[in-house]
């Protein structure tokens, strides 16, 4: 196995694909972020840039490209929902990653906070008010205050790793419950 080295000249990599390859080594969950524009248009996009920020107050974040067609709707609506996909929902990830005029026409969903679509059978929902945006390079970081959340234990998450979809498999005889409690308590 050969380690690839990327040298950054003047703050940018010579080949952005190489940076994406390196970032892809960090496995993430897959989400669909949804909103309803002030004009009533439903918008949704696939994202893996989701992260918890704070438990008190309950804050999460995700990021959106400055050139994304739906950025205006997300900024203007001031509300959004995070839909955490299950391993059976890779088709939804692909659906919302593909440009279309109406991404919701043939999908089952319910209306959540602010009229944001909540996709059916997802692992979890986080319904949020837009708390703050932070401009960062070619993206906007969207920080949301969670006003309602729901989850199920029935399925495994859809993962994205190394440019491919993946599934989670527990390691035998290893329990990270104590480690997780320490991290969430701020001691890690």
Do the domain assignments include residue 177?
yes
DSSP code of 153?
Answer: S
Split at pLDDT 50, 70, 90, the class of 57 is: very high
Domain of 178, in residue numbers: 16-184
Burial classification of residue 159, based on how many CB atoms lie within 10 Å of its CB (0-12 exposed, 13-18 middle, 19 or more buried): middle
Considering its fold, how many domains does the chain have in total? 1
CATH number reported for the structural domain that contains residue 126 in this entry = 2.30.110.10
117 DSSP β-pair partners: 111
pLDDT value, residue 82: 98
pTM listed for this prediction = 0.87
What is the residue whose two structure tokens read 């790793």? Answer: 161
Do the domain assignments include residue 27?
yes
Q: What percent of the chain has pLDDT over 90?
A: 67
Question: Cα separation of 73 and 71, whole Å?
Answer: 5
The tens digit of pLDDT for each residue in 102-115 reads: 999 989 999 999 99
Structure tokens at 14: 């010579």
Do the domain assignments include residue 55?
yes
């Amino acid at each position: 196995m050969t380690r690839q080295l990327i040298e950054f000249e003047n703050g940018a990599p010579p080949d952005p694909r190489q940076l994406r390859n390196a970032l892809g080594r960090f496995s993430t969950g897959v989400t669909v972020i949804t909103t309803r524009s002030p004009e009533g248009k439903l918008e949704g996009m696939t994202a893996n840039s989701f992260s918890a920020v704070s438990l008190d107050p309950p804050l999460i974040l995700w990021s959106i490209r400055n050139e994304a067609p739906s950025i205006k709707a997300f900024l203007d609506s001031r509300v959004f929902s995070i839909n955490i996909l299950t391993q059976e929902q890779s088709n939804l990830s692909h659906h919302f990653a593909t440009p279309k005029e109406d991404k919701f026409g043939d999908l089952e969903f319910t209306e959540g906070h602010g009229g944001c679509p909540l996709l059916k059978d997802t692992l979890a929902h986080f319904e949020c008010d837009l708390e703050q945006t932070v401009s960062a390079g070619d993206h906007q970081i969207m920080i949301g205050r969670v006003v309602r959340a729901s989850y199920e234990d029935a399925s495994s998450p859809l993962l994205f790793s190394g440019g491919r979809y993946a599934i989670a498999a527990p390691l035998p005889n290893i329990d990270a419950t104590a480690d997780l409690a320490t991290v969430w308590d701020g001691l890690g």
